[in-house]
């Protein structure tokens, strides 16, 4: 059962905080749920698998379950002071390290040096989550390895990584490894439909199925696509295809509208007038989104003449712009695109 907490990004507001709220991952749910409820959870664990498939989410569920005031449980209350602090990421007992930024040996040694002391806020346990653990430096991993030999009873270490092969075998051997896989299409569809109903979206099931296909079993990606499609609002497969292939943010829908103007009108004066509505955006952002837009057009076109047209446009706009005035290059390329859409491929 999904639960919404807070407002804003769908990936955050619908993030599971209890084992029962997780969709899919049935084997992992049983393993971690039983270990929490029976208080047999290993003190050092390694979560491996694709990005966006739930590794950090489960690590946070463990942190909540270990310190909830109602007791050690797979179903934390998510309301007590300890749960609230963990959910807000400001708990003194739960530390989440981005190893890509803080994976140096000094940071790791400093973190480990503080762990033997009891939690300062009254929590039962200290939990340290090493996100992107494969980015730990060699010396940092060596320092962690020594700590893994004898983890204090009040400390839990969780290493999350999508590239476990980069970690030393001796490190992996000292952790209980749990593999996270991509979710089945039916599970992703159920997630998207539940969220759409909860949010009151006037959704189209065919569009949801398209999002399922494009997200390739990654729930974080699926919810990100859903948010972008819902923001655009038309709920057509063509619009969803353009949005997903462009890889744009929710705030970049206006670039799609500009691209639609390009497609409808090869009059450069009209194009230039419409361009003034988005010329406050970074040129490279506009270029990337436009490239993705026309790549989507190419992917979904059926006629050879259309494919040739979109391919030529991508040739015109796909190269990054360098120099002191990249906006001048973009305007020049908009002129070339107008000519291509008018049937002149000799640009």
Provide the residue ranges of all domains of the chain, joining segments of one domain with +.
10-180, 185-341
Averaged pLDDT, 1-8: 87
266: which residues sit within 8 A by CB, 6+ positions away? 338, 339, 341, 342
Burial grade of 1 (CB within 10 A; 0-12, 13-18, 19 or more)? exposed
Q: Is residue 149's pLDDT more than 70? A: yes
* Residue 250 pLDDT class (50, 70, 90 cuts): very low
* Residue 279 pLDDT class (50, 70, 90 cuts): confident
191: which residues sit within 8 A by CB, 6+ positions away? 2, 23, 183, 219, 222, 223
Averaged pLDDT, 315-336: 87
Averaged pLDDT, 81-101: 92
Q: Is residue 338's pLDDT more than 70? A: yes
Q: Which residue has the higher pLDDT, 277 or 151?
A: 151
Q: Tens of pLDDT along 186-199? A: 999 999 999 999 99
DSSP state of 40: -
Question: What whole-number distance in Å separates Cα of residue 115 and Cα of residue 240?
Answer: 48
Averaged pLDDT, 14-38: 97
Count CB atoms within 10 A of the CB of residue 34. 13
The whole-number pLDDT of residue 175 equals 96
Q: Is residue 182's pLDDT more than 80? A: yes
Average pLDDT value over all residues in the chain = 90
The whole-number pLDDT of residue 166 equals 94
DSSP secondary structure of 109-172:
HHHHHHTTSPPTTS-S-EEEEEETGGGS-HHHHHHHHHHHTT--TTEEEEEEES-GGGS-HHHH
The whole-number pLDDT of residue 266 equals 75
CA atoms within 13 A on the CB side of 131: 17
Q: Which of 58, 52, 62, 32 is nearest to 181 (CA)?
A: 52
Question: What whole-number distance in Å separates Cα of residue 207 and Cα of residue 81?
Answer: 41
CA atoms within 13 A on the CB side of 89: 7
Averaged pLDDT, 217-228: 92
DSSP state of 180: E
First CA to last CA distance, the chain: 55
The whole-number pLDDT of residue 204 equals 92
Q: Is residue 52's pLDDT more than 80? A: yes
The whole-number pLDDT of residue 249 equals 53
DSSP state of 95: E
What's the distance, CA 162 to chain centroid?
13
Question: What whole-number distance in Å separates Cα of residue 71 and Cα of residue 218?
Answer: 32
Overall fold of domain 10-180 = Rossmann fold (3.40.50)
* Residue 300 pLDDT class (50, 70, 90 cuts): confident
- Contact between 222 and 188 under an 8 Å Cβ cutoff? The reply is yes
Q: Which residue has the higher pLDDT, 182 or 149?
A: 182
Q: Is residue 248's pLDDT more than 60? A: no
Q: Is residue 212's pLDDT more than 90? A: yes
* Residue 252 pLDDT class (50, 70, 90 cuts): low
Q: What percent of the chain is predicted at pLDDT more than 90?
A: 64
Averaged pLDDT, 221-240: 86
3-state secondary structure of 76: coil
């Amino acid at each position: 059962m999904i639960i919404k907490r807070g407002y804003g990004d769908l990936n955050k507001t619908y993030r599971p905080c209890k084992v029962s709220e997780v969709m899919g991952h049935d084997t992992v749910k049983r393993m971690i749920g039983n270990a929490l409820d029976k208080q047999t959870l290993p003190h050092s664990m390694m979560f491996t698998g694709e990005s966006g498939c739930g590794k950090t989410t489960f690590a946070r569920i463990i942190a909540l379950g270990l310190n909830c005031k109602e007791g050690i449980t797979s179903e934390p209350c998510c309301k007590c002071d300890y749960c609230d602090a963990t959910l807000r990421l400001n708990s003194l007992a739960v530390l989440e390290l981005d190893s890509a930024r803080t994976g140096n040996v000094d940071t790791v040694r400093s973190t480990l040096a503080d762990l033997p002391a009891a939690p300062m806020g009254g929590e039962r346990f200290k939990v340290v989550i090493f996100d992107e653990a494969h980015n730990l430096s060699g010396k940092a991993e060596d320092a962690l390895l020594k700590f893994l030999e004898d983890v204090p009873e009040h400390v839990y270490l969780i290493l999350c990584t999508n590239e476990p092969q980069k970690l030393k075998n001796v490190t992996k051997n000292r952790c209980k490894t749990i593999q996270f896989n991509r979710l089945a299409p039916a599970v992703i569809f159920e997630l998207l439909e539940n969220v759409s109903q909860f949010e009151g979206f006037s959704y189209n099931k065919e569009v949801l199925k398209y999002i399922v296909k494009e997200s390739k079993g990654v729930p974080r990606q699926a919810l990100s696509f859903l948010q972008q499609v819902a923001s655009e609002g038309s709920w057509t497969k063509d619009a969803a295809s353009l949005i997903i292939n462009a890889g744009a943010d929710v705030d970049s829908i206006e670039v799609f509208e500009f691209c639609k103007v390009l497609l409808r009108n090869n009059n450069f004066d009209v194009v230039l007038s419409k361009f003034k509505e988005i010329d406050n955006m970074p040129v490279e952002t506009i270029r990337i989104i436009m490239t993705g837009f026309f790549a989507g057009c190419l992917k979904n076109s059926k006629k050879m003449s259309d494919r040739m047209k979109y391919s030529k446009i991508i040739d015109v706009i796909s190269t990054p712009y360098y120099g002191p005035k990249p906006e001048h290059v973009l305007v020049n390329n908009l002129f070339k695109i107008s000519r291509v859409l008018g049937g002149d491929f000799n640009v």
